[in-house]
Amino acid sequence: MVHVHTDDEGLQRLYHELAELDRYSIEIGIFGSDDSFYAMIANVHEFGMTIKAKNKYLAIPTKEAGDRKPSEIPGLFQPKGKNVLAVADKTAENGIKVMFILKESVNIPERSFIRSTFDEKNDEWMDFLEKQIEKLCELEIDAQTVFKRLGARIAGDIQDKIRDIRTPPNAPLTIENKGSDNPLIDTGGLRMHVTWKLVRDDGEYV
Protein backbone atom coordinates (compact mmCIF):
# COMPACT_ATOMS: atom_id res chain seq x y z
CA MET A 1 0.00 0.00 0.00
CA VAL A 2 1.28 3.44 -0.91
CA HIS A 3 0.78 6.24 1.59
CA VAL A 4 0.59 9.77 0.12
CA HIS A 5 1.40 12.53 2.54
CA THR A 6 0.28 16.06 1.74
CA ASP A 7 1.47 19.18 3.49
CA ASP A 8 -1.90 20.89 3.83
CA GLU A 9 -0.41 23.79 5.79
CA GLY A 10 2.24 24.45 3.14
CA LEU A 11 -0.31 24.12 0.35
CA GLN A 12 -2.66 26.60 2.01
CA ARG A 13 0.21 29.04 2.49
CA LEU A 14 1.12 28.71 -1.19
CA TYR A 15 -2.47 29.39 -2.26
CA HIS A 16 -2.52 32.41 0.03
CA GLU A 17 0.73 33.88 -1.32
CA LEU A 18 -0.28 33.31 -4.94
CA ALA A 19 -3.52 35.15 -4.25
CA GLU A 20 -1.53 37.93 -2.56
CA LEU A 21 0.39 38.53 -5.80
CA ASP A 22 -2.80 40.04 -7.24
CA ARG A 23 -3.16 42.37 -4.27
CA TYR A 24 0.02 44.34 -4.77
CA SER A 25 1.70 46.58 -7.31
CA ILE A 26 4.70 48.88 -7.25
CA GLU A 27 5.05 52.55 -8.13
CA ILE A 28 8.50 53.70 -9.19
CA GLY A 29 9.95 57.13 -9.85
CA ILE A 30 10.36 60.47 -8.09
CA PHE A 31 7.28 61.28 -6.04
CA GLY A 32 5.97 64.82 -5.72
CA SER A 33 4.56 63.94 -2.32
CA ASP A 34 8.13 63.27 -1.16
CA ASP A 35 9.83 66.25 -2.81
CA SER A 36 8.01 68.46 -5.31
CA PHE A 37 11.23 70.20 -6.41
CA TYR A 38 12.93 67.02 -7.58
CA ALA A 39 9.69 65.77 -9.12
CA MET A 40 9.66 68.96 -11.21
CA ILE A 41 13.34 68.55 -12.16
CA ALA A 42 12.69 64.93 -13.16
CA ASN A 43 9.78 65.97 -15.38
CA VAL A 44 11.88 68.64 -17.12
CA HIS A 45 14.68 66.20 -17.95
CA GLU A 46 12.40 63.30 -18.84
CA PHE A 47 10.42 65.26 -21.43
CA GLY A 48 12.53 68.36 -22.13
CA MET A 49 11.39 71.97 -21.82
CA THR A 50 11.92 75.44 -23.26
CA ILE A 51 12.13 78.11 -20.57
CA LYS A 52 11.26 81.62 -21.77
CA ALA A 53 12.06 84.87 -20.01
CA LYS A 54 9.14 86.49 -18.18
CA ASN A 55 10.53 89.89 -18.98
CA LYS A 56 13.22 90.40 -21.66
CA TYR A 57 16.05 88.06 -20.68
CA LEU A 58 16.97 85.10 -18.53
CA ALA A 59 20.19 85.71 -16.58
CA ILE A 60 22.31 82.55 -16.79
CA PRO A 61 25.05 82.65 -14.12
CA THR A 62 28.69 82.05 -14.98
CA LYS A 63 31.11 80.38 -12.57
CA GLU A 64 32.07 83.84 -11.24
CA ALA A 65 28.48 84.55 -10.18
CA GLY A 66 28.14 81.26 -8.33
CA ASP A 67 24.79 80.99 -6.56
CA ARG A 68 24.23 84.74 -6.43
CA LYS A 69 21.35 86.54 -8.12
CA PRO A 70 21.94 89.69 -10.21
CA SER A 71 20.45 91.82 -7.42
CA GLU A 72 23.07 90.47 -5.01
CA ILE A 73 26.07 91.67 -7.03
CA PRO A 74 26.95 95.38 -6.66
CA GLY A 75 28.13 97.30 -9.71
CA LEU A 76 26.52 94.92 -12.19
CA PHE A 77 25.85 96.44 -15.61
CA GLN A 78 25.16 95.45 -19.22
CA PRO A 79 28.01 96.49 -21.54
CA LYS A 80 26.78 98.22 -24.67
CA GLY A 81 26.05 95.82 -27.51
CA LYS A 82 26.60 92.70 -25.39
CA ASN A 83 24.03 90.27 -24.00
CA VAL A 84 25.82 89.85 -20.70
CA LEU A 85 25.83 91.34 -17.23
CA ALA A 86 29.27 92.15 -15.91
CA VAL A 87 31.25 94.03 -13.27
CA ALA A 88 34.25 96.25 -13.86
CA ASP A 89 37.55 94.43 -13.35
CA LYS A 90 40.81 96.03 -14.47
CA THR A 91 42.62 92.69 -14.31
CA ALA A 92 40.17 90.96 -16.66
CA GLU A 93 40.11 90.99 -20.46
CA ASN A 94 38.37 94.11 -21.80
CA GLY A 95 38.21 95.42 -18.24
CA ILE A 96 35.07 93.51 -17.31
CA LYS A 97 34.23 90.22 -15.66
CA VAL A 98 31.14 88.51 -17.07
CA MET A 99 28.78 87.35 -14.34
CA PHE A 100 25.64 86.42 -16.32
CA ILE A 101 24.78 85.49 -19.90
CA LEU A 102 21.49 87.01 -21.09
CA LYS A 103 19.19 84.82 -23.17
CA GLU A 104 15.58 85.18 -24.29
CA SER A 105 15.01 81.46 -23.76
CA VAL A 106 16.84 78.28 -22.77
CA ASN A 107 16.11 74.88 -24.26
CA ILE A 108 16.56 71.88 -21.96
CA PRO A 109 16.63 68.80 -24.22
CA GLU A 110 14.86 65.56 -23.40
CA ARG A 111 17.07 63.21 -21.43
CA SER A 112 14.72 60.36 -20.60
CA PHE A 113 15.99 58.23 -17.73
CA ILE A 114 12.73 56.58 -16.66
CA ARG A 115 11.00 55.64 -19.92
CA SER A 116 14.29 54.75 -21.61
CA THR A 117 15.27 52.45 -18.74
CA PHE A 118 11.92 50.68 -18.97
CA ASP A 119 12.44 50.18 -22.72
CA GLU A 120 15.95 48.81 -22.22
CA LYS A 121 15.44 46.69 -19.11
CA ASN A 122 11.86 45.40 -19.29
CA ASP A 123 12.82 41.90 -20.49
CA GLU A 124 15.45 41.59 -17.75
CA TRP A 125 12.91 42.67 -15.14
CA MET A 126 10.40 40.08 -16.33
CA ASP A 127 13.05 37.36 -16.05
CA PHE A 128 13.91 38.60 -12.56
CA LEU A 129 10.23 38.58 -11.58
CA GLU A 130 9.78 35.01 -12.82
CA LYS A 131 12.70 33.86 -10.68
CA GLN A 132 11.21 35.57 -7.62
CA ILE A 133 7.85 33.91 -8.23
CA GLU A 134 9.65 30.56 -8.42
CA LYS A 135 11.10 31.29 -4.97
CA LEU A 136 7.60 32.13 -3.75
CA CYS A 137 6.29 28.80 -5.11
CA GLU A 138 9.01 27.08 -3.08
CA LEU A 139 7.80 29.10 -0.07
CA GLU A 140 11.21 30.75 0.34
CA ILE A 141 9.70 34.26 0.18
CA ASP A 142 6.25 35.85 0.35
CA ALA A 143 4.34 38.01 -2.14
CA GLN A 144 5.41 41.32 -0.59
CA THR A 145 9.06 40.31 -0.86
CA VAL A 146 8.61 39.53 -4.56
CA PHE A 147 7.48 43.09 -5.23
CA LYS A 148 9.97 44.67 -2.83
CA ARG A 149 12.85 42.98 -4.62
CA LEU A 150 11.48 43.97 -8.03
CA GLY A 151 10.99 47.58 -6.92
CA ALA A 152 14.54 47.79 -5.60
CA ARG A 153 15.90 46.27 -8.82
CA ILE A 154 14.02 48.71 -11.08
CA ALA A 155 14.86 51.77 -8.97
CA GLY A 156 18.53 50.75 -8.96
CA ASP A 157 18.57 50.43 -12.76
CA ILE A 158 17.01 53.89 -13.14
CA GLN A 159 19.61 55.33 -10.77
CA ASP A 160 22.35 53.71 -12.86
CA LYS A 161 20.86 55.30 -15.98
CA ILE A 162 21.05 58.74 -14.36
CA ARG A 163 24.70 58.10 -13.48
CA ASP A 164 25.68 56.82 -16.93
CA ILE A 165 23.72 59.03 -19.35
CA ARG A 166 25.87 61.39 -21.41
CA THR A 167 23.66 62.58 -24.28
CA PRO A 168 22.54 65.15 -25.10
CA PRO A 169 25.54 66.77 -23.36
CA ASN A 170 25.33 69.85 -21.17
CA ALA A 171 26.20 73.21 -22.66
CA PRO A 172 29.86 74.24 -22.12
CA LEU A 173 28.81 76.94 -19.61
CA THR A 174 26.85 74.39 -17.59
CA ILE A 175 29.80 71.97 -17.58
CA GLU A 176 32.10 74.77 -16.40
CA ASN A 177 29.71 75.74 -13.60
CA LYS A 178 29.13 72.14 -12.48
CA GLY A 179 32.69 70.92 -12.91
CA SER A 180 31.51 67.72 -14.62
CA ASP A 181 30.01 66.59 -17.92
CA ASN A 182 27.26 64.36 -16.49
CA PRO A 183 23.99 65.99 -17.66
CA LEU A 184 21.81 64.57 -14.89
CA ILE A 185 24.13 64.75 -11.90
CA ASP A 186 25.10 67.91 -10.06
CA THR A 187 24.57 67.39 -6.34
CA GLY A 188 23.32 63.81 -6.78
CA GLY A 189 19.90 64.74 -5.41
CA LEU A 190 17.93 63.63 -8.46
CA ARG A 191 19.47 60.16 -8.41
CA MET A 192 18.93 59.75 -4.67
CA HIS A 193 15.24 60.64 -4.98
CA VAL A 194 14.47 57.76 -7.35
CA THR A 195 12.59 55.26 -5.22
CA TRP A 196 9.71 52.78 -5.21
CA LYS A 197 6.59 52.15 -3.17
CA LEU A 198 4.58 48.99 -2.58
CA VAL A 199 0.84 49.57 -3.05
CA ARG A 200 -2.03 47.36 -1.88
CA ASP A 201 -5.16 46.91 -4.00
CA ASP A 202 -7.04 49.23 -1.60
CA GLY A 203 -4.66 52.04 -2.57
CA GLU A 204 -2.71 52.00 0.69
CA TYR A 205 1.09 52.08 0.70
CA VAL A 206 2.69 49.20 2.57
pLDDT per residue of the chain (206 residues) written in tens, 0 to 9:
445 455 678 889 999 999 999 999 999 999 988 778 999 999 999 999 999 998 899 999 998 998 899 999 999 999 999 999 999 998 887 889 999 999 999 999 999 999 999 999 999 999 999 999 999 999 999 999 999 999 999 999 999 999 998 877 777 777 676 666 676 776 788 999 999 999 999 888 88
Spatial neighbors of 162 by CB under 8 A, at least 6 apart, are 113, 184, 185, 190, 191, 194
The DSSP 8-state label assigned to residue 205 in this structure reads: B
CA count, 13 A, side-chain hemisphere, 78: 11
